[in-house]
Protein backbone atom coordinates (compact mmCIF):
# COMPACT_ATOMS: atom_id res chain seq x y z
CA UNK A 1 0.00 0.00 0.00
CA UNK A 2 1.26 3.47 -0.78
CA UNK A 3 0.92 5.27 2.53
CA UNK A 4 0.74 8.68 0.88
CA UNK A 5 -2.20 7.71 -1.26
CA UNK A 6 -3.87 5.21 1.02
CA UNK A 7 -6.35 7.70 2.36
CA UNK A 8 -5.78 10.61 -0.02
CA UNK A 9 -8.76 12.88 -0.52
CA UNK A 10 -9.27 16.25 -2.09
CA UNK A 11 -12.17 18.68 -1.74
CA UNK A 12 -11.42 20.81 1.29
CA UNK A 13 -14.63 22.14 2.75
CA UNK A 14 -15.16 25.43 4.52
CA UNK A 15 -15.28 24.60 8.19
CA UNK A 16 -15.71 28.17 9.51
CA UNK A 17 -15.54 26.78 13.01
CA UNK A 18 -13.26 29.50 14.35
CA UNK A 19 -12.44 33.08 13.48
CA UNK A 20 -8.66 32.83 13.83
CA UNK A 21 -7.10 34.46 10.82
CA UNK A 22 -3.87 32.46 11.21
CA UNK A 23 -5.63 29.06 11.33
CA UNK A 24 -4.02 26.69 8.78
CA UNK A 25 -7.59 25.79 7.83
CA UNK A 26 -7.90 29.21 6.16
CA UNK A 27 -4.62 29.27 4.26
CA UNK A 28 -4.87 28.85 0.52
CA UNK A 29 -2.37 26.63 -1.28
CA UNK A 30 -0.33 28.71 -3.75
CA UNK A 31 -0.26 25.98 -6.37
CA UNK A 32 -1.65 22.55 -7.07
CA UNK A 33 1.52 20.82 -5.85
CA UNK A 34 1.38 22.39 -2.40
CA UNK A 35 0.26 19.05 -0.96
CA UNK A 36 1.51 19.52 2.59
CA UNK A 37 -0.26 22.86 3.02
CA UNK A 38 -3.42 21.36 1.59
CA UNK A 39 -3.13 18.46 4.04
CA UNK A 40 -2.44 20.76 7.00
CA UNK A 41 -5.52 22.74 6.03
CA UNK A 42 -7.61 19.55 5.95
CA UNK A 43 -6.26 18.53 9.36
CA UNK A 44 -6.90 21.95 10.91
CA UNK A 45 -10.48 21.89 9.64
CA UNK A 46 -11.10 18.39 10.98
CA UNK A 47 -9.37 18.98 14.34
CA UNK A 48 -11.33 22.23 14.87
CA UNK A 49 -14.47 20.13 15.12
CA UNK A 50 -13.04 17.89 17.83
CA UNK A 51 -13.14 19.40 21.28
CA UNK A 52 -10.43 17.26 22.92
CA UNK A 53 -7.81 14.83 21.65
CA UNK A 54 -6.40 12.33 24.16
CA UNK A 55 -3.14 10.71 23.10
CA UNK A 56 -2.83 7.44 25.04
CA UNK A 57 0.86 6.60 25.52
CA UNK A 58 2.95 4.14 27.50
CA UNK A 59 6.65 3.70 28.15
CA UNK A 60 6.62 0.01 27.26
CA UNK A 61 4.42 -2.58 25.56
CA UNK A 62 2.12 -4.97 27.39
CA UNK A 63 1.02 -2.57 30.15
CA UNK A 64 -2.53 -2.50 28.77
CA UNK A 65 -2.36 0.77 26.83
CA UNK A 66 -4.65 -0.37 23.97
CA UNK A 67 -7.05 -2.00 26.42
CA UNK A 68 -7.18 1.27 28.38
CA UNK A 69 -7.63 3.34 25.18
CA UNK A 70 -10.51 1.15 23.97
CA UNK A 71 -12.29 1.07 27.34
CA UNK A 72 -11.70 4.79 27.87
CA UNK A 73 -13.36 5.54 24.53
CA UNK A 74 -16.32 3.28 25.37
CA UNK A 75 -16.62 4.80 28.86
CA UNK A 76 -16.60 8.35 27.45
CA UNK A 77 -19.30 7.33 24.96
CA UNK A 78 -21.33 5.82 27.83
CA UNK A 79 -20.96 9.19 29.62
CA UNK A 80 -22.90 10.65 26.66
CA UNK A 81 -19.92 12.10 24.84
CA UNK A 82 -19.45 11.74 21.10
CA UNK A 83 -16.18 9.90 20.67
CA UNK A 84 -13.72 8.78 18.01
CA UNK A 85 -11.17 6.04 18.66
CA UNK A 86 -8.12 6.23 16.39
CA UNK A 87 -5.49 3.50 16.38
CA UNK A 88 -2.12 4.78 15.12
CA UNK A 89 -0.21 1.71 16.33
CA UNK A 90 0.98 1.07 12.80
CA UNK A 91 3.10 -2.01 13.53
CA UNK A 92 0.67 -3.70 15.92
CA UNK A 93 -2.88 -2.35 15.64
CA UNK A 94 -4.99 -4.08 18.28
CA UNK A 95 -8.08 -1.88 18.33
CA UNK A 96 -9.92 -3.87 15.60
CA UNK A 97 -9.55 -7.05 17.68
CA UNK A 98 -10.39 -5.37 21.00
CA UNK A 99 -13.52 -3.81 19.52
CA UNK A 100 -14.60 -6.95 17.63
CA UNK A 101 -14.08 -5.21 14.27
CA UNK A 102 -11.52 -7.46 12.58
CA UNK A 103 -12.13 -7.84 8.84
CA UNK A 104 -14.27 -4.68 8.58
CA UNK A 105 -14.03 -2.83 5.27
CA UNK A 106 -13.87 0.96 5.12
CA UNK A 107 -16.07 2.92 2.76
CA UNK A 108 -15.57 6.34 1.17
CA UNK A 109 -18.03 9.21 1.20
CA UNK A 110 -17.38 12.18 -1.08
CA UNK A 111 -13.70 11.22 -1.21
CA UNK A 112 -13.34 10.97 2.56
CA UNK A 113 -12.88 7.82 4.63
CA UNK A 114 -15.84 6.91 6.79
CA UNK A 115 -14.77 5.54 10.18
CA UNK A 116 -16.58 2.45 11.47
CA UNK A 117 -19.62 3.58 13.43
CA UNK A 118 -20.11 1.08 16.26
CA UNK A 119 -23.21 2.90 17.54
CA UNK A 120 -23.65 4.60 20.89
CA UNK A 121 -21.73 7.77 19.83
CA UNK A 122 -18.53 5.90 18.98
CA UNK A 123 -16.59 5.80 15.70
CA UNK A 124 -13.43 3.77 15.16
CA UNK A 125 -10.53 4.05 12.70
CA UNK A 126 -7.41 1.87 12.59
CA UNK A 127 -4.57 1.13 10.22
CA UNK A 128 -5.69 -2.48 10.81
CA UNK A 129 -8.72 -1.85 8.55
CA UNK A 130 -6.36 -1.07 5.66
CA UNK A 131 -4.20 -4.19 5.95
CA UNK A 132 -5.05 -7.27 3.91
CA UNK A 133 -4.77 -9.60 6.89
CA UNK A 134 -4.04 -9.17 10.61
CA UNK A 135 -0.79 -11.09 10.02
CA UNK A 136 0.50 -8.55 7.46
CA UNK A 137 3.67 -6.81 8.65
CA UNK A 138 3.95 -3.10 7.96
CA UNK A 139 7.47 -1.97 7.09
CA UNK A 140 7.37 1.80 6.96
CA UNK A 141 9.87 4.49 7.71
CA UNK A 142 9.13 7.67 9.66
CA UNK A 143 7.96 9.89 6.76
CA UNK A 144 5.48 7.23 5.59
CA UNK A 145 4.04 7.00 9.11
CA UNK A 146 3.78 10.79 9.27
CA UNK A 147 1.95 10.68 5.90
CA UNK A 148 -0.60 8.10 6.94
CA UNK A 149 -1.22 9.71 10.36
CA UNK A 150 -1.78 13.07 8.68
CA UNK A 151 -4.38 11.35 6.50
CA UNK A 152 -6.02 9.73 9.56
CA UNK A 153 -6.41 13.19 11.05
CA UNK A 154 -7.21 15.12 7.90
CA UNK A 155 -9.08 12.78 5.59
CA UNK A 156 -11.31 10.76 7.91
CA UNK A 157 -14.88 11.96 8.24
CA UNK A 158 -14.84 12.31 12.04
CA UNK A 159 -17.57 14.96 12.14
CA UNK A 160 -18.10 16.87 15.37
CA UNK A 161 -16.71 15.01 18.39
CA UNK A 162 -16.26 15.72 22.08
CA UNK A 163 -13.22 13.42 22.27
CA UNK A 164 -10.82 11.68 19.92
CA UNK A 165 -8.96 8.96 21.82
CA UNK A 166 -5.73 8.11 19.99
CA UNK A 167 -3.95 4.82 20.75
CA UNK A 168 -0.23 5.23 19.99
CA UNK A 169 2.38 2.46 20.09
CA UNK A 170 4.59 2.29 23.21
CA UNK A 171 7.51 4.68 23.45
CA UNK A 172 8.18 8.08 21.99
CA UNK A 173 8.73 7.23 18.32
CA UNK A 174 7.33 8.47 15.01
CA UNK A 175 3.67 7.82 15.75
CA UNK A 176 3.21 9.84 18.97
CA UNK A 177 5.57 12.45 17.52
CA UNK A 178 3.41 12.79 14.38
CA UNK A 179 0.24 13.09 16.47
CA UNK A 180 1.86 15.67 18.77
CA UNK A 181 2.94 17.71 15.74
CA UNK A 182 -0.31 17.43 13.79
CA UNK A 183 -3.30 17.18 16.12
CA UNK A 184 -3.04 20.80 17.22
CA UNK A 185 -4.48 22.58 20.21
CA UNK A 186 -6.39 20.78 22.94
CA UNK A 187 -4.35 17.61 22.61
CA UNK A 188 -3.38 16.10 25.96
CA UNK A 189 -1.52 12.92 26.86
CA UNK A 190 -2.85 10.08 29.00
CA UNK A 191 0.06 7.96 30.25
CA UNK A 192 -0.51 4.31 31.08
CA UNK A 193 1.80 2.31 33.33
CA UNK A 194 1.70 -0.70 35.61
CA UNK A 195 2.82 -0.10 39.21
CA UNK A 196 6.06 -2.00 38.47
CA UNK A 197 9.26 0.05 38.79
CA UNK A 198 10.44 -1.09 35.35
CA UNK A 199 7.36 0.26 33.62
CA UNK A 200 7.25 3.43 35.72
CA UNK A 201 10.85 4.25 34.77
CA UNK A 202 9.89 4.15 31.09
CA UNK A 203 6.96 6.49 31.64
CA UNK A 204 9.43 9.17 32.75
CA UNK A 205 10.54 9.29 29.12
CA UNK A 206 6.93 9.81 28.04
CA UNK A 207 6.60 12.70 30.52
CA UNK A 208 9.81 14.22 29.18
CA UNK A 209 8.56 13.76 25.58
CA UNK A 210 5.30 15.57 26.40
CA UNK A 211 7.18 18.43 28.05
CA UNK A 212 9.53 18.80 25.08
CA UNK A 213 6.53 18.83 22.73
CA UNK A 214 4.67 21.31 25.02
CA UNK A 215 1.81 18.82 25.17
CA UNK A 216 -0.15 18.98 28.45
CA UNK A 217 -0.52 15.71 30.38
CA UNK A 218 -4.06 14.86 31.48
CA UNK A 219 -2.60 12.33 33.92
CA UNK A 220 -1.31 8.87 34.64
CA UNK A 221 -3.43 5.71 34.74
CA UNK A 222 -1.98 2.92 36.84
CA UNK A 223 -3.22 -0.24 35.13
CA UNK A 224 -2.96 -3.81 36.48
CA UNK A 225 -3.04 -2.22 39.90
CA UNK A 226 -3.65 -5.16 42.24
CA UNK A 227 -5.72 -8.29 41.85
CA UNK A 228 -8.52 -9.41 44.11
CA UNK A 229 -8.27 -13.20 44.47
CA UNK A 230 -11.58 -14.72 43.29
CA UNK A 231 -11.22 -17.52 45.89
CA UNK A 232 -10.28 -15.75 49.11
CA UNK A 233 -10.99 -12.08 48.21
CA UNK A 234 -7.47 -11.20 49.38
CA UNK A 235 -5.56 -8.56 47.45
CA UNK A 236 -2.44 -9.58 45.50
CA UNK A 237 -0.14 -6.80 44.23
CA UNK A 238 1.20 -8.74 41.26
CA UNK A 239 3.17 -5.78 39.86
CA UNK A 240 3.88 -4.04 43.17
CA UNK A 241 1.82 -1.08 44.26
CA UNK A 242 1.81 2.68 44.15
CA UNK A 243 4.48 3.06 41.42
CA UNK A 244 2.25 5.20 39.22
CA UNK A 245 1.22 7.39 42.15
CA UNK A 246 4.82 7.90 43.24
CA UNK A 247 5.82 8.87 39.71
CA UNK A 248 2.85 11.23 39.44
CA UNK A 249 3.97 12.98 42.63
CA UNK A 250 7.58 13.14 41.52
CA UNK A 251 6.70 14.52 38.08
CA UNK A 252 3.85 16.73 39.30
CA UNK A 253 1.28 15.03 37.09
CA UNK A 254 -2.24 14.03 38.24
CA UNK A 255 -3.24 10.40 38.80
CA UNK A 256 -6.37 9.72 36.77
CA UNK A 257 -7.04 6.36 38.38
CA UNK A 258 -5.96 2.83 39.18
CA UNK A 259 -7.43 -0.04 37.18
CA UNK A 260 -7.21 -3.43 38.92
CA UNK A 261 -6.27 -6.68 37.21
CA UNK A 262 -9.32 -8.60 36.12
CA UNK A 263 -8.95 -11.84 34.14
CA UNK A 264 -12.24 -11.00 32.43
CA UNK A 265 -10.45 -8.05 30.74
CA UNK A 266 -8.24 -10.60 28.95
CA UNK A 267 -11.28 -12.71 28.02
CA UNK A 268 -13.10 -9.68 26.59
CA UNK A 269 -10.01 -8.49 24.70
CA UNK A 270 -9.71 -11.87 23.02
CA UNK A 271 -13.40 -12.13 22.18
CA UNK A 272 -13.63 -8.53 20.91
CA UNK A 273 -16.29 -7.37 23.34
CA UNK A 274 -15.56 -4.14 25.21
CA UNK A 275 -15.17 -5.11 28.87
CA UNK A 276 -17.00 -2.01 30.06
CA UNK A 277 -20.15 -3.11 28.21
CA UNK A 278 -20.11 -6.66 29.52
CA UNK A 279 -19.02 -6.09 33.10
CA UNK A 280 -20.37 -2.62 33.86
CA UNK A 281 -20.66 -3.37 37.59
CA UNK A 282 -17.10 -4.66 38.09
CA UNK A 283 -14.44 -2.84 40.13
CA UNK A 284 -12.39 -2.22 37.00
CA UNK A 285 -15.40 -0.72 35.16
CA UNK A 286 -16.03 1.57 38.16
CA UNK A 287 -12.35 2.57 38.11
CA UNK A 288 -12.68 3.45 34.39
CA UNK A 289 -15.78 5.52 35.17
CA UNK A 290 -13.77 7.50 37.76
CA UNK A 291 -10.98 8.10 35.23
CA UNK A 292 -13.54 9.41 32.77
CA UNK A 293 -15.04 11.71 35.44
CA UNK A 294 -11.57 13.15 36.11
CA UNK A 295 -10.90 13.64 32.40
CA UNK A 296 -14.23 15.41 31.91
CA UNK A 297 -13.68 17.51 35.09
CA UNK A 298 -10.17 18.40 33.90
CA UNK A 299 -11.60 19.63 30.64
CA UNK A 300 -14.21 21.71 32.44
CA UNK A 301 -11.52 23.17 34.71
CA UNK A 302 -9.43 24.14 31.64
CA UNK A 303 -12.43 25.84 30.07
CA UNK A 304 -13.10 28.10 33.08
P1 LIG B 1 -0.36 -2.70 25.29
O2 LIG B 1 -1.27 -1.94 24.38
O3 LIG B 1 0.22 -1.85 26.37
O4 LIG B 1 0.68 -3.51 24.59
P5 LIG B 1 -2.64 -4.46 25.73
O6 LIG B 1 -3.76 -3.51 25.87
O7 LIG B 1 -2.50 -5.19 24.42
O8 LIG B 1 -1.25 -3.77 26.10
O9 LIG B 1 -2.74 -5.49 26.95
C10 LIG B 1 -1.81 -6.52 27.13
C11 LIG B 1 -2.52 -7.72 27.77
O12 LIG B 1 -2.90 -7.38 29.10
C13 LIG B 1 -3.79 -8.13 27.07
O14 LIG B 1 -3.89 -9.52 27.09
C15 LIG B 1 -4.90 -7.49 27.90
O16 LIG B 1 -6.11 -8.21 27.83
C17 LIG B 1 -4.30 -7.58 29.29
N18 LIG B 1 -4.77 -6.53 30.23
C19 LIG B 1 -4.70 -5.19 30.07
N20 LIG B 1 -5.18 -4.56 31.17
C21 LIG B 1 -5.57 -5.53 32.04
C22 LIG B 1 -6.16 -5.53 33.34
N23 LIG B 1 -6.44 -4.40 33.99
N24 LIG B 1 -6.44 -6.74 33.90
C25 LIG B 1 -6.16 -7.90 33.26
N26 LIG B 1 -5.60 -7.96 32.04
C27 LIG B 1 -5.31 -6.80 31.43
Could you read off the pLDDT of 178-209 as tens digits, one per residue? 999 999 999 999 999 999 877 788 899 999 99
* C-alpha 302 to ligand 1 mean position (Å): 31
Taking CA atoms only, the protein residue closest to ligand 1 atom 8 is 64
Ligand 1 test: best mutation among 63, 87, 170, 269, most atoms within 8 Å of CB?
269
Mean pLDDT of the chain: 87
Lowest mean pLDDT among 32-36, 79-83, 170-174: 32-36
- In 3D, which of 137, 123, 117, 106 has the Cα closest to residue 9? 106
- Residue ranges of domains in the chain, CATH in brackets: 3-303 (3.40.50.300)
Sorting pLDDT into bands at 50, 70 and 90, what band is 5? Answer: very low
Please list every protein residue whose CB sits less than 6 Å from any atom of ligand 1: 58, 61-67, 94, 223-224, 259, 261-262, 265-266, 269, 284
- In testing the pocket of ligand 1, which one of 65, 100, 266, 287 has its CB within 8 Å of the most ligand atoms? 266
pLDDT at 242: 81
Q: Using the mean position of ligand 1's atoms as its centre, give its distance from the Cα of residue 64 in Å.
A: 3
pLDDT tier for residue 294 given thresholds of 50, 70 and 90: very high
18-36, pLDDT tens digit by residue? 777 777 777 666 664 577 7
Ligand 1 atom 13 nearest Cα: 266
How far apart are the C-alpha atoms of 36 and 80, rounded to whole Å? 35
pLDDT tens figures, 277-288: 999 999 999 999
Residue 239, SS3 per DSSP: coil
Residue 199's pLDDT is 74
Question: pLDDT higher for 5 or 222?
Answer: 222
Question: What is the distance between the alpha carbons of residues 207 and 219, in angstroms, rounded to a whole number?
Answer: 10
Q: Which of 55, 62, 67 to mutate to test the pocket of ligand 1 (most atoms within 8 A of CB)?
A: 67
- Section 38-67 average pLDDT: 95
For ligand 1, atom 12, the nearest C-alpha belongs to 64
Nearest partner of 183 among 210, 218, 154, judged by Cα: 154
Is the pLDDT confidence value at 39 over 60? yes
Q: Where are the alpha helices (DSSP H) in the chain?
A: 3-6, 35-48, 65-78, 95-98, 142-154, 174-182, 197-212, 243-251, 263-271, 275-278, 283-303
66 C-alpha to center of ligand 1: Å?
A: 7
CA of 40 to the centre of ligand 1 (A): 34
Per-residue pLDDT at 231? 84
Q: How far is the CA of 284 from the centre of ligand 1 (A)?
A: 13
Query: Rounded to whole angstroms, how far apart are CA atoms 165 and 191?
Result: 12
pLDDT of residue 8: 36
Which range has the worst mean pLDDT, 92-101, 132-141, 273-282? Answer: 132-141
Amino acid sequence: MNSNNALRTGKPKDCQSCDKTDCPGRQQPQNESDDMLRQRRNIARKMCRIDRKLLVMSGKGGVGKSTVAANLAVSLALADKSVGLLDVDIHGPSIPRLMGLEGQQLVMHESEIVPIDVGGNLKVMSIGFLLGSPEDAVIWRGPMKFGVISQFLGDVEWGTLDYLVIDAPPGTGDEPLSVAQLAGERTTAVLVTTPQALSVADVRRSVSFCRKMSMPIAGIIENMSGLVCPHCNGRIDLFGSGGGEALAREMDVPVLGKIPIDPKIVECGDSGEPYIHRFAESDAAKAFAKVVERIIDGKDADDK
